[in-house]
């Protein structure tokens, strides 16, 4: 039987829990429309100027001290966004392939030190970001590599491969190996079995791992800060630099766009997963 008091307490706890999580995001979204150019915490009317400025539609001839938006770093912002998208796309592709292949190999093949290798793959996830960032910086400097988008991509692949590996490994653990054995008994080669039997069943895990890798790569700051060159600034590093120079109203607009992008990616993942379940 339901306990009314228990359900009331559970409902209140749920509301407080979601408020604790999403209230800061709601504040950021709300103040991204604040017209106050001096103190973004004091509401001074509704405006879309900050968003227009980010997309290059602001009036650059206006007085910077007036209420009109004056964005002096729009070109740098767009360049940082492009760098983040390039790094995230390449890193996601590489880490998804490596993580999926590694998960399949460790699940379906027996070899010496397999347990050690599996535990070794978890190390980048458990290692503090600042330690990994400093280690990668020393490694690249020792090799004489110039810090660029390439070093960022390599650095992101070192730990994002582990995330993809964990997700795909959890998915492959629930797949019956007898299906692959039946495919082999029917004359299918290993490649055909992989392509038509195993990969379709792993698709939800692979897509989930790829989406997670993309989001983490787009949001990473600590590791990227150490291994990014002067001409390869990503969006999180750019935002961090803006905050250090002083909190500007554009930051709320940028954060709102990042939240929207994250929601869209999560919705895409849930939609793909629901389609897979329906089939």
Helix (H, G, I), strand (E, B) or coil at 46: strand
Domain-embedded: residue 259: no
Q: Where are the beta strands (DSSP E) in the chain?
A: none
The pTM is what? Answer: 0.79
Mean pLDDT by 10 residues, the chain (279 residues): 77 91 88 80 81 68 44 68 91 94 85 80 86 93 91 93 91 80 78 83 87 89 90 86 71 83 77 59
CB 219 within 8 A of CB 125: no
CATH assignment at residue 191: 1.10.3720.10
Domain-embedded: residue 15: no
Q: pLDDT value at position 242?
A: 75
Number of domains in the chain: 1
Domain-embedded: residue 168: yes
Domain-embedded: residue 133: yes
Which one, of 243, 103, 91, lies nearest residue 165 by Cα? 103
Q: pLDDT value at position 50?
A: 80
Neighbouring-strand partners of residue 46: 34
Domain-embedded: residue 27: no
Q: pLDDT value at position 245?
A: 66
Domain-embedded: residue 278: no
Range of the domain at 123: 74-246
Q: pLDDT value at position 136?
A: 93
CB 213 within 8 A of CB 164: yes
Domain-embedded: residue 69: no
Domain-embedded: residue 140: yes
Q: pLDDT value at position 2?
A: 66
């Amino acid at each position: 039987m339901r306990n009314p008091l228990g359900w009331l307490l559970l409902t209140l706890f749920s509301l407080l829990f979601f408020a604790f999580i999403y209230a800061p995001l709601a504040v950021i979204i709300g103040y991204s429309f604040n017209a106050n150019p001096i103190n973004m915490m004091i509401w001074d009317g509704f405006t879309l100027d900050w968003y227009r400025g980010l997309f290059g539609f602001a009036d650059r001839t206006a007085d910077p001290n007036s209420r009109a938006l004056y964005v002096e770093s729009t070109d740098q912002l767009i360049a940082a966004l492009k760098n983040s998208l390039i790094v995230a796309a390449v890193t996601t592709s590489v880490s998804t392939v490596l993580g999926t292949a590694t998960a399949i190999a460790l699940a379906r093949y027996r070899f010496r030190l397999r347990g050690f290798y599996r535990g070794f793959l978890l190390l980048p996830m458990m290692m503090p970001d600042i330690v990994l960032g400093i280690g990668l910086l020393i490694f690249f400097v020792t090799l004489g590599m110039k810090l660029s988008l390439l070093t960022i991509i390599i650095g992101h692949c070192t730990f994002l491969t582990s995330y993809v590996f964990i997700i795909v490994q959890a998915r492959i653990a629930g797949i019956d190996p007898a299906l692959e054995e039946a495919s082999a008994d029917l004359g299918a080669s290993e490649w055909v079995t992989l392509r038509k039997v195993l990969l379709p069943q792993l698709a939800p895990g692979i897509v989930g791992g790829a989406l997670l890798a993309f989001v983490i790569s787009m949001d990473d700051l600590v590791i990227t800060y150490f291994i990014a060159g002067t001409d390869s600034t990503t969006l999180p590093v750019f935002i961090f630099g803006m905050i250090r120079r002083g909190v500007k109203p554009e930051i709320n607009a940028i954060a709102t766009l990042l939240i929207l992008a994250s929601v869209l990616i999560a919705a895409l993942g849930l939609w793909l997963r629901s389609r897979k379940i329906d089939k």
